[in-house]
Amino acid sequence: MCGAPARTVGWRHPGYIHTSYLKDLWPDSMYTYRLGHRLPNGTRIWSKSYNFKASPYPGQDSLQRVVIFGDMGKAEADGSNEYNDFQPGSLNTTNQIIRDLDNVDMVVHIGDICYANGYLSQWDQFTAQIEPIASTVPYMIGSGNHERDWPGTGSFYGNLDSGGECGVPAQTVFYTPAENRAKFWYATDYGMFRFCIAHTEEDWRPGTEQYEFIQHCLSSVDRQKQPWLIFLAHRVLGYSSNSYYAFEGTFEEPMGREALQELWQKYKVDLAFYGHVHNYERTCPVYQSQCVVNASNHYSGPFQATTHVVVGGAGASLSDFTSSKIQWSHFRDFDHGFAKLTAFNHSSLLFEYKKSRDGDVYDHFTISRDYRDVLACSVDNCPRTSLAS
């Protein structure tokens, strides 16, 4: 790792981290597994048995449900080992997801995973907290400032937020199907979804390797198989009326949507999710800071523009909003919560925002699309979409 405390007082030997690959799984089949260890005297000890259901095949038409959030962290149920109580909503979020786990197929945690910040035993505390989830459904992660940022190590921001970890525990403890796991951007398909997961702690602007990846991920999806195209990143590359972005006057991470909005529009990205800002906010379908259509609880017809969602309220201390009314900002909630997507089939998607305190739905919308718009032209001969058109 890169510096203190991860290399000094925060360090502990992590033991050995193994990655197993299970090949040729039958889609939707239930599998049972357990973990074992052979002792020097030859006897074997076994964990309890766990179950998981194999992923649907790409394009499969079946009920598919994905939970998405950022910035969850961990907490102590009895407070016994708590030192700063920075993630007060964390256990509520974890417990709501466990309670509803029969109705969840996959989880995506978009950065600021456990806030170990160089105190490595906290990764164990976090993985113990999420074990009921991560042992049962895919627990996919993105990387945030608290995993990656460290001066002089190639991170886009030269701050001390990772506590010297510089991404090493995150990329080691969690598997991502990335070409280079240290870079942390990757594409993953689940049934009717394609997820393009960016890494805001490395440069994403045109001309970079990551920009090429984002363009390729968005453009290469076969929308007949994966109609639901989802972009995810830790910092808010799209829209947020959180108070510090509003104070800067950018309403986003600087250089975010300027660099990427043409890609989201051209490739008809349905939804973009972000963390980093610790609250919930949903925009209208928006392009170039203008609502292309009015915000609604039901969208139908051809794609108009991407809906941007901040879901960084899964655990860490909440961030407040600007008091100004912003035209594209449709729904704001200063509370802990998470999002859930339910794809019923290739033309019907439900979005829900749930509070962590009770698991109830406080915002929702549906998208009904026949996808003639994305199928009528291949990506490079589609007419260019602008605000004027």
* Binding positions for Fe ion, rule: CB under 5 A: 112, 144-145, 276
Instruction: Please tell me whether the peptide bond between 285 and the residue prior to it is cis, using omega within 30 degrees of 0.
Output: no
Amino acid occupying residue 5 = P
The contacts of residue 110 (CB under 8 Å, 6+ apart) are 68, 69, 70, 141, 142, 144, 197, 232, 233, 234, 273, 274, 275, 311
- Cβ at position 11, least distance to Fe ion in Å: 23
Q: Which residue is nearest to Fe ion (CB)?
A: 276
**Least distance (Å) between residue 317 CB and Fe ion:** 12
Spatial separation of the C-alpha atoms in residues 109 and 71, rounded to whole Å: 8
Nearer to Fe ion, 185 or 267 (CB): 185
> Rg (Cα) of the chain, in Å, rounded?
21
> In this complex, which beta carbon is closest to Fe ion, that of residue 3 or of residue 73?
73
For residue 278, the minimal CB distance to Fe ion (Å) is 8
CB of 237 to Fe ion, least distance (A): 13
Task: Output the DSSP codes for 231-274.
Answer: EEESS-SS---BHHHHHHT-SSSTTSHHHHHHHHHHTT--EEEE
Size of the chain in residues: 389
Report the run of H or E that residue 196 belongs to, with start and end: strand 193-197
Q: Residue 13 CB, nearest distance to Fe ion (Å)?
A: 28
Of 115 and 193, the one with the shorter C-beta distance to Fe ion is 115
Candidates 243, 235, 184; CA nearest to 214 is 184
- Cα separation, 331 vs 355, in Å, equals 14
Phi, psi of 75, rounded to the nearest 5 degrees: -155, 165
Question: Is the CB of 232 or the CB of 374 nearer to Fe ion?
Answer: 232
- What is the nearest approach in angstroms of Fe ion to the Cβ of residue 234? 6
Give whichever of 110 and 218 is closer to Fe ion, judged by the CB atom: 110
Please, which residue, 112 or 270, has the CB nearer to Fe ion?
112
Gap between the Cα atoms of 7 and 160, Å rounded: 13
Q: Smaller CB distance to Fe ion: residue 284 or 314?
A: 314
CB nearer to Fe ion: pick between 269 and 316: 316
Give the shortest CB-71-to-Fe ion separation in angstroms. Answer: 6
DSSP 8-state code for residue 32: E
Q: What are the structure tokens assigned to 182, written together?
A: 């240290």
Q: Give dist(CA 54, CA 270) in Å, integer.
A: 25
Closest approach of Cβ 144 to Fe ion, in Å?
4
